[in-house]
Amino acid sequence: METKLNKVAEITSLFWLMKIVATTLGETLGDFIAQTLSLGYSIGILITLLFFVIVLCIQLYLKKYVPLYFWLVIIATTTLGTEISDFMDRSLGLGYTYGSLVLAMGLFATLSFWYVEYKNLEVYPIINKKKELFFWTAVLFSNSLGTAFGDYLSDEIGLSYLIGALVTASIIALVILLHYFTRVNQILLFWIAFVFTRPFGATFGDFLTKPLNKGGLDLGTLPASIVSVVLIAIFIYITHLQHQNKLLKEGL
């Protein structure tokens, strides 16, 4: 029954690969909406917020985990997170340093309320709707924070997009080592990895799309987004097949 009612993806290697692709898509698609289409960050937030609300309502309505809608919400949070981070920095003038602090406090507050309510921060399985709302709120804050941190590395510290991606990749690699070879709390490691896969995807997305004179490959936001869409679609299909096979084996 617990497996049938679970609402979120199992944390596997494929999960992390899909998370990185989704965050790369969120960065390139967010920039495509706000910059390439010249709609601006305010309009970008409205568009991505609407998409987020629609897919989140569908996800919350469902009685069990459906890979397509789960990953659509992840993509929505990464895209909305890009717009929120850029809006805070460029439209509100907070800068990525203060913006990151604000978003970090929001994430910490969400996780604190979650812990007070449930005495744990376990993300799998989730079968309670209120806990699922805590989860998606934390995901939105963490993806927005990850975007701001990725931009902080390039804009504030001055790292190239490739070096920034390598720095965040190194942090993720360290988390993996701690996961397999130490007794560090696994839930803590999950949230660290979840936050830092976002700036990795963000800086990698910038590396793909930014001009050559800024350290990018100048592929453009639309082509990079299309490639990411194709990749995430393939992974969602694979995940769907795996999930269906699991349900068949368990007789659900």
Give 42-86 pLDDT, tens digit per residue.
899 999 999 999 999 999 999 899 999 999 999 999 999 888 888
Which pLDDT score is estimated for 3?
45
Q: Residue 91: pLDDT above 60?
A: yes
Q: How far apart are CA 8 and CA 61, in angstroms?
A: 13
CA dihedral over 159, 165, 166, 169, signed as positive or negative: positive
Q: Residue 161: pLDDT above 80?
A: no
- Percent above pLDDT 70 for the chain: 98
Residue 251's identity, in one-letter code, is G
Spell out the residues 6+ positions from residue 93 whose beta carbon is closer than 8 angstroms to its own. none
Q: What is the mean pLDDT of residues 4-25?
A: 88
Q: Per-residue confidence at 251, pLDDT binned at 50, 70, 90?
A: low
Give the DSSP letter string of the chain: -HHHH--S----HHHHHHHHHHHHHHHHHHHIIIIIS--HHHHHHHHHHHHHHHHHHHHHH-SS--HHHHHHHHHHHHHHHHHHHHIIIIIS--HHHHHHHHHHHHHHHHHHHHHHHHS----SS---HHHHHHHHHHHHHHHHHHHHHHHIIIIIS---HHHHHHHHHHHHHHHHHHHHHS---HHHHHHHHHHHHHHHHHHHHHHHHS-GGGTS----HHHHHHHHHHHHHHHHHHHHHHHHHHHHHTT-
Q: Residue 215: pLDDT above 50?
A: yes
Which has the closest alpha carbon to 41: 182, 147, 180?
A: 147
- Cis peptide bond N-terminal to 125, omega within 30: yes
Q: Per-residue confidence at 233, pLDDT binned at 50, 70, 90?
A: very high
Q: Residue 171: pLDDT above 80?
A: yes
Q: Tell me the Cα Rg of the chain.
A: 18
- Let me know: does 161 contact 109? Beta carbons within 8 Å: no
- Percent above pLDDT 90 for the chain: 41
pTM for the whole structure: 0.89
Q: What is the mean pLDDT of residues 186-193?
A: 88
Q: Residue 1: pLDDT above 60?
A: no
Which pLDDT score is estimated for 2?
41
Which pLDDT score is estimated for 80?
93
Which pLDDT score is estimated for 46?
94
- Let me know: does 18 contact 67? Beta carbons within 8 Å: no
Spell out the residues 6+ positions from residue 128 whose beta carbon is closer than 8 angstroms to its own. none
Give 93-144 pLDDT, tens digit per residue.
887 788 888 988 999 999 999 999 999 898 888 998 999 999 999 999 988 8
- Which phi and psi (to 5°) does residue 242 adopt? -60, -40
